[in-house]
A and B are shown apart, each in its own frame.
Chain A
């Protein structure tokens, strides 16, 4: 079912490619990003060398189970890692030709909300309960572009129309508690888009919503991307969501991207055993008899991550080499890349 959805929407839109089938310009390059957190128990290596690119108008989904470093990666791009205890220890985040990891707080403030914006998981808590939504919508705009109150209001009404909130004029004066969950997420989206950012990071934007609203919000994303050409990094663990709106998918495990490729490549030809496990653990409504196949075991402790592949302990195809050395990245067909020893020439013989 997930795969069918993927096929449908894939044929509908492909904004990341131009007519010749080539990728558009890169707007974000993340190179070997590493983030650690100092805790009482020691240093947690939350992100251990993440590398990916993002193109203009593209939606990249980062998937993986809880605690694998998805949110930390996105917070690092946004400059929202609380420091201390968090620290970006290595790597580059190149956005519009500048390395964001070298930015200080006030330099970050100049791009936060303007060039890069973020949508949070829970719309029930992401809005300030004591401020009218009009003020919350316009404050970012008024901080970054010194415009008049009236102009800001016009823009706010325009944004509310864009995200599909009726009666925007009256709604501006209201407070978050006067809106439903789905409406609040629309407002959060409006806030994040009001300064017309080039990059939007959505951290599990539909997790806290019920299923019917989820579909609406996902459609809204597609619509907005079409209208504004914004690039989206979508953090999620919901493969249904990914199938619907992602162009490319990066699978994260234990602080690393272990497989990355287009949606088709990941859904139809997953190469990493973890990705396969992830796809197998999606409930399927069309197969009544089939039981859900969870991935056995738990992710490794990131206080002391293993030297080899972090998935070794749970991997049904684990080999001796897996626990000793981290696999080199293998480029498969197209943009499909995977970190797995099974792709090594020497391993291929075993399974053929």
Chain B
């Protein structure tokens, strides 16, 4: 196990390095510079600014500097907001985005799996049809449409919930629902088909023949096996939810990372772009690593490591 983790760790470092390199060169291939908007500034001032941020140096040198920044995890100050370091931005924005993301994942997985299981158990029944209709709608409607719709109905017309910002658990309901509906629908559909397949397996019949309670058969015997495809898509779903937070944060005026991430690119705010990209990719890679670990725990047949003297 430890051997596997070490191996994975080096792979993760390599991946982050690759992403960082790609981002660096892509970023510099975008025309324009961080100082384009400051029309009033004369060339001397611009040159001085570039010197200050070490942007006058040749690209390879900048690249090395930037790699140093990654290793020490100090990306320096933002170009557009000189009083603010990139680390500060991350420290302030990320916890909020993280909170939104985690709550969304929890809501999506718990309700998606429940819905899918119910649909499978009542196969071709009313619950099944309702759940699957809901799932089709949930998959087809993009989250920003849902978000505006939710604000209009629940915050505007009904006035039950606050329309924006991020203060109390009450504020979390609408953004989380808007963001979670899509993944939840996908998970529900996947759980349903996976459960339907698992329920026809011999080991479920065998569990019935043992005279076990239906609840135990479903939870202990069926669900664990049915969860495998869901864990598999969790990886890509995490990436989707992560980028989804950018949009949702904007709509609900949530002070998370999303705003800085998007603005930094249009502003060519190099340190912020690099900092947030590297940070987010590290985070995502780490989550994927967790998913793989969960995979191994759920299914004993998947071996993360080779033990000696074990029969296949």
Write out the residue numbers on chain B whose beta carbons fall within 8 Å of the beta carbon of A132. Answer: 300
Write out the residue numbers on chain A whose beta carbons fall within 8 Å of the beta carbon of B201. Answer: 125
Per-residue contact bits, chain A 113-143, to B (CB 8 Å; 1 contact, 0 not)? 1100110111001111111100000011001
Pairwise interchain contact A120-B202, C-beta atoms closer than 8 A: yes
Interface segment, one of B71-79, B95-103, B206-214: B206-214
Q: How far is the CB of A193 from chain B (nearest CB, A)?
A: 12
Write out the residue numbers on chain B whose beta carbons fall within 8 Å of the beta carbon of A131. Answer: 220-221, 224
Per-residue contact bits, chain A 142-153, to B (CB 8 Å; 1 contact, 0 not)? 011000000000
The answer to whether residues A117 and B209 also contact, given A126-B203, A131-B220 and a CB cut-off of 8 A, is yes
Write out the residue numbers on chain A whose beta carbons fall within 8 Å of the beta carbon of B213. Answer: 109, 143
Interface flag for A206 (CB, 8 Å): no
Interface flag for A342 (CB, 8 Å): no
Pairwise interchain contact A125-B202, C-beta atoms closer than 8 A: yes
Pairwise interchain contact B300-A130, C-beta atoms closer than 8 A: yes
Give Cα A230–Cα B213 distance, bound, in whole angstroms. Answer: 25
Give Cα A144–Cα B210 distance, bound, in whole angstroms. Answer: 9
The residue among B205, B210, B212, B312 with the most chain A CB atoms within 10 A of its own CB is: B210
Pairwise interchain contact B225-A126, C-beta atoms closer than 8 A: no
Give Cα A192–Cα B211 distance, bound, in whole angstroms. Answer: 11
Pairwise interchain contact B203-A125, C-beta atoms closer than 8 A: yes
Q: How far is the CB of A233 from chain B (nearest CB, A)?
A: 13
Write out the residue numbers on chain A whose beta carbons fall within 8 Å of the beta carbon of B300. Answer: 129-130, 132, 175, 177
Chain B interfacial residues counted at CB < 8 A: 24
Per-residue contact bits, chain B 299-312, to A (CB 8 Å; 1 contact, 0 not)? 11100000000111
The answer to whether residues A112 and B211 also contact, given A120-B202, A125-B202 and a CB cut-off of 8 A, is yes
Pairwise interchain contact A126-B202, C-beta atoms closer than 8 A: yes
Closest chain B residue, CB of each to CB of A116: B209
Interface of B: prevailing SS: helix
Chain A interfacial residues counted at CB < 8 A: 32
Per-residue contact bits, chain B 167-187, to A (CB 8 Å; 1 contact, 0 not)? 000000000000000000000
Q: Which of A114, A178, A188 contacts B211 (CB 8 A)?
A: A114
Q: Which chain A residues in 173-189 approach chain B with CB under 8 Å?
A: 175, 177-178, 188
Closest chain A residue, CB of each to CB of B223: A130
Pairwise interchain contact B202-A144, C-beta atoms closer than 8 A: no
Give Cα A192–Cα B212 distance, bound, in whole angstroms. Answer: 13
Interface flag for B153 (CB, 8 Å): no
Write out the residue numbers on chain B whose beta carbons fall within 8 Å of the beta carbon of A95. Answer: none
Interface flag for A191 (CB, 8 Å): yes
Per-residue contact bits, chain B 204-234, to A (CB 8 Å; 1 contact, 0 not)? 0111111111001000110011000000000
Pairwise interchain contact A112-B208, C-beta atoms closer than 8 A: yes
Pairwise interchain contact B225-A128, C-beta atoms closer than 8 A: yes
Interface flag for B137 (CB, 8 Å): no
- B contacts, CB < 8 Å to A: 201-203, 205-213, 216, 220-221, 224-225, 298-301, 310-312
Question: Which A-B residue pairs are the 3 nearest by beta carbons?
Answer: A112-B211, A140-B210, A113-B210
